[in-house]
Amino acid sequence: MKKKKARLLFAQVDHVSAEVTGFAVGRIMELGARNVQLISSITKKNRPGSVLIIDTDDGREEAIALFLARELKVSGYHRIDTLHLFQRVAYEQRDLVVAVDGRKRTITCDVKIVGDPAAPLSIDVEHDALVKIQTLLKKKNRDLSLGELRLAIESKLRKSKKTIQLDI
């Protein structure tokens, strides 16, 4: 298990529309957050609100704090300095051969491996590859959800080191 210093910012947001908070998540990521969670809440006066949990480092905090004040009218927030404990993560590329009606197309996709690559704890196909495959299949009048595609591909990842065959 690896460790690294981390910083979590907790900001309470109210009086702001969902469109603005949704926009804010993307901007906060652009400002250097590693991750942003947006949780719906009810404030002390029974108004709808949100809690932002922002994973960042001290070098990015000031820019994020200024954005929170300007865009979301957040006058203060809570900061917790913590340790992030995590497994080893590696990325590999795998060729996915998608066969539809006897026609094959190869798509190279990124695969996330958690743990030792020789004995992984989990293997996941990256979201962008799923979207690309789903788009390809829709052009062929095949409609599979991202969940169905993920299950079909990930069930074969442990068995194949380089190429995965997917028959639709």
pLDDT of res. 141? 85
- Structure confidence at residue 40 (pLDDT): 93
Cα dihedral 149→138→132→110 (10° resolution)? 30
CB 55 within 8 A of CB 5: no
The residues that bridge with 123 in the sheet, in sequence order, are 113
Same domain, 74 and 124: no
**Euclidean distance between CA atoms 22 and 18, whole angstroms:** 6
Q: Based on the fold, state whether residues 26 and 6 are members of the same structural domain.
A: yes
The verdict on 59 and 131 lying in the same domain is: no
Angstrom distance (rounded) from CA 68 to CA 46: 22
Cα–Cα distance measured from residue 24 to residue 138, given in angstroms and rounded to the nearest whole number? 32
Averages of pLDDT over runs of 10 residues in the chain (168 residues) are: 92 91 96 96 89 93 97 96 93 88 86 91 91 87 89 85 82
Same domain? 26 vs 61: yes
Q: What is the pTM of this model?
A: 0.71
Instruction: Report the CATH number at residue 36.
Output: 3.30.70.1380
Number of domains in the chain: 2
Per the structure, the complete domain to which residue 114 belongs is given by 89-167
Provide the token pair at 87: 């497994």
Question: How big is the CA angle at 132 (ends 126 and 137), to the nearest 5 degrees?
Answer: 125
